[in-house]
Amino acid sequence: GIQVEQSPPDLILQEGANSTLRCNFSDSVNNLQWFHQNPWGQLINLFYIPSGTKQNGRLSATTVATERYSLLYISSSQTTDSGVYFCAVWGSNYKLTFGKGTLLTVNP
Amino acid sequence: DAGVIQSPRHEVTEMGQEVTLRCKPISGHDYLFWYRQTMMRGLELLIYFNNNVPIDDSGMPEDRFSAKMPNASFSTLKIQPSEPRDSAVYFCASSSRLAGEQFFGPGTRLTVL
């Protein structure tokens, strides 16, 4: 099946810093989503971005489908950004396959 | 819309007992998915339905697990008999199309003693 690799696995930031999270995938995809799992366990939709660039406030994402990667940018990070960020892709196996996530900790 | 609704939010049971998890998808969504999240295996798809019909159940771990969708607004995931290794968070998600954006419920945290 399709492989999804996220990096870095862990990231510690001071409040106000910027960061870039990366998602690599092994095959062509029809769908790519970024989620934030908050400390209460909720999976919150950030972006549905099979290709191109989208922005939502301090967050933006870019997917380059031809090169099989996606990037999530977080600017001016806040403590509420802490949690696990997941990339998930829908490929030819007709399933949404998740990466292992990036654990982000933002310290005040 | 209220989003995807799951119940119960927490379930603690003893080994051998039957467990039933419930899900109400977003109104108008034709696809419903059940996922399981564990530390060891991460988030994995168990089964999904289209228009109340099971399409792919290849992720269901074994015969102790079963899922039904009797109508467009309700689905159940049943474990009988439950075992300690079934302890996990079970998520339900829905989507308006096959490869479309999926929206997740709050999850059910299951603990089997």
What's the pLDDT tens digit per position in B36-58? 999 999 999 999 999 999 999 99
Cβ contacts of A49 on chain B, cutoff 8 Å: none
When pLDDT is averaged across residues A2-22 and rounded to a whole number, the result is: 97
In the numeric block, the tokens 């409040």 are attached to A15
pLDDT band at A94 (very low <50, low <70, confident <90, very high): confident
Contact A45 B98 (CB under 8 A): no
pLDDT at res. A11: 97
Token pair 């419930």 is found at B22
Check B43 against A98: CB less than 8 A apart. Answer: yes
Q: Does B10 contact chain A (CB < 8 Å)?
A: no
Tokens 């862990």 belong to which residue?
A: A10
Distances (CA, A) of A7 to A11, A86, B20: 9, 10, 36
- B104: nearest CA partner in chain A: A43
Strands B10-13 and A102-107: unpaired
Q: What is the tens place of the pLDDT at every residue in A56-90?
A: 999 999 999 999 999 999 999 999 999 999 999 99
The band of B1, judged by pLDDT with boundaries at 50, 70 and 90, is low
Neighbours of B77 (CB within 10 A): 23
- Residue pair B108/B10 in contact (Cβ under 8 Å)? The answer is yes
Dump pLDDT digits (tens) for B57-102: 999 988 999 999 999 999 999 999 999 999 999 999 999 998 899 9
Nearest by CB: B100 against A31, A97, A100: A31
Backbone angles phi, psi at B58, to 5 degrees: -65, -15
Q: What's the Cα-to-Cα distance from A40 to each of A43, B67, B70, rounded to whole Å?
A: 9, 26, 30
Nearest to A39 by CA among A105, A101, A107, A88: A105
Predicted local confidence at residue B29, as pLDDT:
97
Q: Is the pLDDT reported for residue B8 higher than 70?
A: yes
Q: For the CA atoms of chain A, what is the radius of gyration?
A: 13
Which candidate from A33, A97, A99 shows the least CB-CB separation from B101?
A33
Q: What is the mean pLDDT of chain B?
A: 96
Residue type (1 letter), A94: Y
Do A3 and A95 contact (CB within 8 A), yes or no?
Answer: no
State both tokens at B65: 């697990």
- Give the closest residue to B92 by CA, choosing from B38, B39, B47: B47
- Residue A36, both tokens: 């934030």
Chain B environment of A98 (Cβ under 8 Å) = 42-44
Predicted pLDDT at B62: 85
How close, in Å, is residue B83 to chain A by CA atoms? 23
Task: Taking residues B21-37, report their average pLDDT.
Answer: 97
| C-beta separation of A34 from A46 below 8 A | yes
pLDDT of residue A92: 85
- Predicted confidence at residue A75, as pLDDT, reads 97
What lies within 8 Å, CB to CB, of A82 at 6+ separation is A38, A39, A104, A105, A106
